[in-house]
Every structure is written in C-alpha cells, then in structure tokens.
Amino acid sequence: MVFSILKKDKKTKARLGILRTAHGNIMTPAFIPVGTRAAVRSLASDEIKSSGAQAILANTYHLWLQPGDNLIKKAGGLHKFMDWDGPIFTDSGGFQIFSLGERKWSAAPHQHAGGGFLKNSGNNSPFNVKISDDGVSFQSGKDGSVHKLTPEKSVRIQANLGSDISLVLDYFCGYPFKRESAEKSVELTTKWAERAGKEFLRIKKSAVNKGQLQFGIIQGAGYKKLREKSAKEISALDFDGYAIGGVAVGEPEKYMYQAVEFSVPFLEENKPRHLLGVGTPENIIEAVKRGCDTFDCVIPTREARHGKAYIFTGEGLKYKTMDIKKKMFAGDFKSLDPNCDCFACARHTRAYIHHLYQIKEILGLRLMTEHNLMFYNRLMEKIRASV
C-alpha cells in the first residue's frame, strides 16, 4: 500500500499516516521543503536532512528549462544529481507558467484564460502564455525560446527527473475568483489528468521509473460545487494520491480552508492528500484538522532570507517570529532560540547572526534557513504527537 493510516483524531479529520515511496517512508502529517532548482536555498543535502526534513519538492518547469530533464536523467536522476537519498516530489510545471505570467503581466485577472496572450515585462518569467485544450505554450523569459507543455510532456519530464511523487499538469485561476475561469480550470484539469494518467501507465509499462507515484490535482477555486465536481472526477481516475491546488493565490484564508473542506469528503480515505503551496504554521495546523497530510511552501526559506526566525514560545504549538535584522539584537548574546538545538542556536548568538545580516554575509542566511526548517519539522512532530 502507498499510504496507511495509523491513527485518526477523534475531534477533527486529522490523521497520522505513512506515505511509502521508492526512496523511503514519510511520516505524515509532514512538511516538504521546496528545492525549486534541485536545491533548497543555501543548504547542502546533509543540512536539509539534519533539520528533520523527510522529503523535498523540486520544480519541473525550472529543471526542464535548466539544466534540462535529459541531462538530469543522464546524471542518474534528481536523487544522484543533487545528492539527496530521500523522497522527492515534483510539481507539474503548470503553476509557474500560469501564475508568474498572470501575476506579472495580466492587466486583469484571467486575461489569458480564453487563449489570449500576455506580454513580457523584461524579467525571466514566461511570457506569451497561451492556454488551449492541448496544453500550454509560452516563451522563455531567459532567451525568448518557444516551448509547449502538454500533460504527456509533463509526465515524461518528471519520469526523466526520477522523482518519487509526480503531479499531473493542471490549470488554476487566481484570486479574485471568477466562475467562468474556475469552470474552465476544472474542465481542463480533468481532461489533462486523464491524458497524464494514460501516459504515466504507458511509461511504467516500458520499465522506466517503475517506482514513481502519480498524484491528481483538485481545482475549483472557491466554489463548493466545482470543488466537489473536480474531486469526484479526479478521484474516479484512481491516482496514487491527490493534491488540492488553486490555493495560496492571494485569497483570504477562509477560502483556502473551504477549498479543503469542499474537496476532502470526495477523496478516498486511504490515499494521501497534499495541499499545494501552503503555508504558515497556522495554515498547516488548520489544514491538518481538515484532513490534509503533506504540505510544501517556500515560507520558511524565504522568511530566512529576510531575517525572520520562527521561535516556539513554550509547550504546544504556540510560537512567535523574530526579525533578527532589528537593531535591538545587535548586543543580544542569547541564542536565537534557547529551546532549539540546531547549529545556529547551539553555536551562535543573536548578536552574531544580526551582524551577519548587516554585512550581508551568506552564512547568516544559511544559519537562519536551517533553523526555520527545523522549526517547521518540529512543528510537524508536535502535530503528529498530538494526533
């Protein structure tokens, strides 16, 4: 079995489980650090592991364009390429194409939903994004080269990457939600999921990457009936697990939680549920209560780059954040968190880490990143213990 439920919470939908992959088991609920380009920002693999991380998530879109999935295949797959022997998730690549294009250049939300074009603003994000029933075409922001990503192509790229858990290509709409765009996202996501599932089985029969699992994705924006429709349609395709998408796209938190509440009742109980792109500690706690098992988000690493540390304030799940860049820490010789035994807390003071940020020394970023990842993984340990 891919997923086993060990225990269920009596008061909520939270559950304790084991997600089995070709490169090891993941105890759930679990947080999955994001290693976008086959690297978790500033950390080596052994440092990621020492933070308590059980798996990482890499980005299909970025690795496809650079250095290329064929090169990574020649290297022996992502695990050997980046020296990580644990489980790896890969997303489909669609999020970056849709979200970056929409956020950077759309004069109005969902401008491209009907097949319209978006113009490049001069950065390295994709432009001239065009959505069709066949897939998505775009130009690379790096060199203007034209690319097309189809559901089948996404499956083949992820097979070359050799991840343990791959996601199907999906289409989502950002916030504010519009019914017409949400309906289109559900329709396309289901059609693409059917095609991705067939391609996945075809590749598996050819003995390439036999251990890889495939997750379907639920869409539907903030609409109950559409989430139900999507969950039923994707569930009927019998994937190894499911991801709830189209959240953390600028919507109020209540819509994020509703997306989970609207979807979970229509997904098989004995399969894992991943919540894409989420989130803050509060988001994770609330999503676990609603039945989600795994999460990925850039928050702990991104906040570390800005000097923000997460600190537990006592027993339980209560915590605070600390901006180490503030002048008040210049002469503070206490450890970052007296109750943490990460390298930063065990060996250095707040004053020293503050100094590193002031002189823009990368060591400060490294220390804070490892600390924040350890906080998140200890948060998940506390959640699992509470279940």
pLDDT per residue of the chain (387 residues) written in tens, 0 to 9: 899 999 999 999 999 999 999 999 999 999 999 999 999 999 999 999 999 999 999 999 999 999 999 999 999 999 999 999 999 999 988 777 776 654 343 333 333 333 333 444 456 777 788 889 999 988 877 787 889 999 999 999 999 999 999 999 999 888 899 999 999 999 999 999 999 999 999 998 776 667 999 999 999 999 999 999 999 999 999 999 999 999 998 899 999 999 999 999 999 999 999 999 999 999 999 999 999 999 999 999 999 999 999 999 988 899 999 999 999 999 999 999 999 999 999 999 999 999 999 999 999 999 999 999 999 999 999 999 999
Q: So what's the pLDDT on residue 119?
A: 46
Query: What is the torsion angle, in degrees rounded to the nearest 10, for the CA atoms of residue 276, residue 241, residue 110 and residue 278?
Result: -10
Strand-pair partners of 15: 8
Q: So what's the pLDDT on residue 93?
A: 81
- Please state, in angstroms and rounded to a whole number, the distance separating the CA atoms of residues 366 and 371: 9
Provide CB contacts within 8 A for 185, sequence distance 6+.
Answer: 170, 171, 172, 173, 219, 220, 221, 246
Sign of the alpha-carbon torsion through 178, 180, 183, 189: negative
Sign of the alpha-carbon torsion through 328, 333, 334, 340: positive
Sign of the alpha-carbon torsion through 45, 47, 52, 58: negative
Query: What is the torsion angle, in degrees rounded to the nearest 10, for the CA atoms of residue 231, residue 260, residue 249 and residue 161?
Result: -60
The alpha helices in the chain, defined as continuous H runs, are 45-50, 60-65, 69-74, 78-82, 94-95, 101-105, 151-161, 179-205, 224-235, 253-263, 281-289, 299-305, 343-347, 350-358, 362-386
142: its two tokens: 């790096």
Three-state SS letters, 12-51: CCCEEEEEEECCEEEEECEEEEECCCCCCCCCCHHHHHHC
Closest CA to 349 of 363, 370, 334, 367: 334
Q: Is the pTM of this model over 0.95?
A: no
Q: So what's the pLDDT on residue 59?
A: 94
Closest CA to 88 of 171, 211, 192, 242: 211
Asked if 172 contacts 246 with a C-beta cutoff of 8 angstroms, the reply is: yes
Question: Catalytic residue positions?
Answer: 91, 296
